Amino acid sequence: MTEQALPFLTGAVSGIGGVVRAVPEDFRVEERPLYLPCGEGEHLYLRVTKRGLSTREMVSCFSSALGVKARCIGVAGLKDANAVTTQMVSVQGSSPELLSRLQKDSRILSVEVLGRHRNRLRTGHHAGNAFQLVIRDVYPSATGAAPLILEELSRRGVPNFFGPQRQGRDGLNYTIGASLLQDAARRARMPRAKRLWFLHAYQSFLFNRILASRIDRLDRVLAGDWAMKHDNGACFLVEDGAVEQRRADAFEISPTGPLFGSRAPWASGEPGEIERAAVASLGATPESLCQAAAACGFRGERRPLRVRLDELTWALKGNTVTLSFTLPPGAYATSVLRELMKTEIK
């Protein structure tokens, strides 16, 4: 299911249109740290602000400039190139004296030394992202549409779709992931990082399809759901949806969908039927996916169908909308933008 084919939670309200990322400064992201370095260890923690430079490109630049291998550089999340982004980076076996070498790259705006730590920064080791966005050339109807859309997203949650980045330029990375599940020889020939990227693309595609099937009820918990507690990420099996709905209405819990793996549970009851139907549409079964995932060595997990839209502020001036908000780790700002704009987001 392509980005354009995904349904909208706020489909009853027309989008505001417009253009985002007219310049990188229109899309600002600041990663919020989960913890700060303890002050000792071989990993140097930095706060890096960059413009027009993706996280992968930044790692390559750091590797070349500092003379360390890419695997010695840790990041908590991946950031796009067409933006101004701030994120933490850890570098093993380097010293602050060498950081002046990074000034040769004009895309790196600032590098702040936070201190040393014993462990490498790893994926997911952040508390979320704060966004400051500008949407230009919006429709005149934005005056009425924007508050309606943003109110519903604030009340019911943002659909936790994976963004199109996972599927590559042609949108077909998931097909490679599907073939890798069945082809052990091809998996063996492919570097681990690349192999996992394609397998995760297949996970994402399936999750998006399941969420699309429940978009109108993404804030409803049903018997058989695996619900997630937002305060600690723990999941539990819902026995009585009516009993648990009060907690869902308070945004304490949300239903989840599978990122399939050897140990990730599947829902039962009506939610389980929805998940099985989505898997069957791809020519598989939950059992076959679990077996294939075990052979590939990944366990899987459950992902909430919605996330909170926190710290939201916005303004409309002329034909330009500015907005800021925070999202938890793993959530995409494009999920907010596509609901608001309802146009292709580049």
Residue-wise pLDDT tens digits, 200-256: 999 999 999 999 999 999 999 999 999 999 999 999 999 999 999 999 999 999 999
CB 312 within 8 A of CB 324: yes
* 80 flagged as catalytic: yes
Catalytic residue among 26, 80, 219, 225: 80
- 91/22 Cα distance (integer angstroms): 33
Structural domains present in the chain: 3-23+128-157+308-341 (3.30.2350.20), 35-123 (3.30.70.3160), 159-307 (3.30.2350.20)
C-alpha angle 111/117/120, rounded to 5°?
85
List pLDDT tens digits, range 119-137.
999 999 999 999 999 999 9
**Beta strands at 306-307 and 158-159: parallel, antiparallel or unpaired:** antiparallel
Residue 197 has pLDDT above 60, yes or no: yes
Give residue 206's pLDDT: 96
Q: What are the Cα distances from residue 298, in Å, to 107, 163, 200, 266, 285?
A: 36, 21, 10, 15, 17
Diameter of the chain by CA atoms?
Answer: 60
What average pLDDT does range 59-69 have in this prediction?
94
Residues of the chain with pLDDT > 90, as a percent, come to 81
Specify the pLDDT at position 4. Answer: 59
Which pLDDT score is estimated for 196? 86
- In this predicted structure, what is the pLDDT of residue 158? 99
C-beta separation of 333 from 133 below 8 A: yes
In this predicted model, what pLDDT tens digit does every residue of 165-182 receive, in sequence order? 778 777 889 999 888 888
Residue 225: HSE in the Cβ half-sphere, 13 Å Cα cutoff? 29
Determine the pLDDT at residue 297: 83
Better pLDDT: 29 or 104: 29
Q: What does the pLDDT average to over 250-276?
A: 97
Alpha-carbon radius of gyration of the chain: 21
- Are 128 and 329 within 8 A, CB to CB? yes
Task: Output the six-digit token pair for 305.
Answer: 């169908």
Rounded to two decimals, what is the model's pTM?
0.93
Provide the pLDDT for residue 1. Answer: 57
Tell which phi-psi region holds residue 115, choosing left (phi > 0), alpha (psi between -120 and 50) or beta: left
- Which residue(s) pair with 316 in the sheet? 321
132, HSE (Cβ side, Cα atoms, 13 Å): 10
pLDDT, averaged across the chain: 94
Paired with 29 in beta bridges are: 85, 131
